[in-house]
Amino acid sequence: AASGSKETTPDVTSANEEEMADAPEEAAVPEVSNERWMPTVPKPVVVGGDNALLDEGGELKADGFFTRPWYNFFCNQTIYVFFNIFQTLYNRLLDIQQSQELVAQAVERLNRPKPARDIGFTENHMTFFEPTDHPETYWPKTVELLEEYITGDVDENRYQDVLRHYYLQNGWKLYTIQDLLKTLCRLALTCSSTDAKEKTPDLIHQYLTSREKEETSYQTE
């Protein structure tokens, strides 16, 4: 075999000639003092009101009764979805009720003189609210429209036209009011179901039972 180059191949004993670096000394682990821990277990402190829930030793009595300032309503998916849709419908109706200024502007705009309408080039404009109507009457008349649409006395085209002309910014939110009411009715039937496998009525019954008690304890809750 060919021997290695003299300039590039180190001698066998050359590795021993290199000085090895000394290993660093292990750093001393500082001693941890127990003073950083609390010397005693913290106890409940009354910052206001009375201390009726504390025993003679200052410990919290979990089974001590007190006048309840709140009630816990434990719900499942059915109850949660019901209140979620109910709140959505309420907020949409409230938004319509508080749009008197927008309706007044729409009434003024729709009743401006228009030459094209006077000579018969355009169809008759929307006449649901009259220029003489007081803004306080807008919401009651809108409620009548909603009731007639729900009962089927007003067709969908007429219903949506009124909302689109007078409630341009938020009237579309009530286009699906029938679907929201159908869902609420279906969930309400589930809440009053007599099926033994359905636990929703039991949750409602437990809440109504707890409402009758003026006092409770943390252990009970």
pLDDT at 124: 61
pLDDT at 196: 83
pLDDT at 215: 73
pLDDT at 42: 62
Residue ranges of the chain with per-residue pLDDT less than 70: 1-66, 115-125, 217-221
pTM of the predicted structure, to 2 decimals: 0.64
Per residue in 105-117, pLDDT (tens digit) is 998 888 777 766 6
pLDDT at 220: 64
How far apart are alpha carbons 190 and 13 in whole angstroms? Answer: 91
Which token pair is 53? 């829930």
Per residue in 130-158, pLDDT (tens digit) is 888 999 999 999 999 999 999 999 999 99
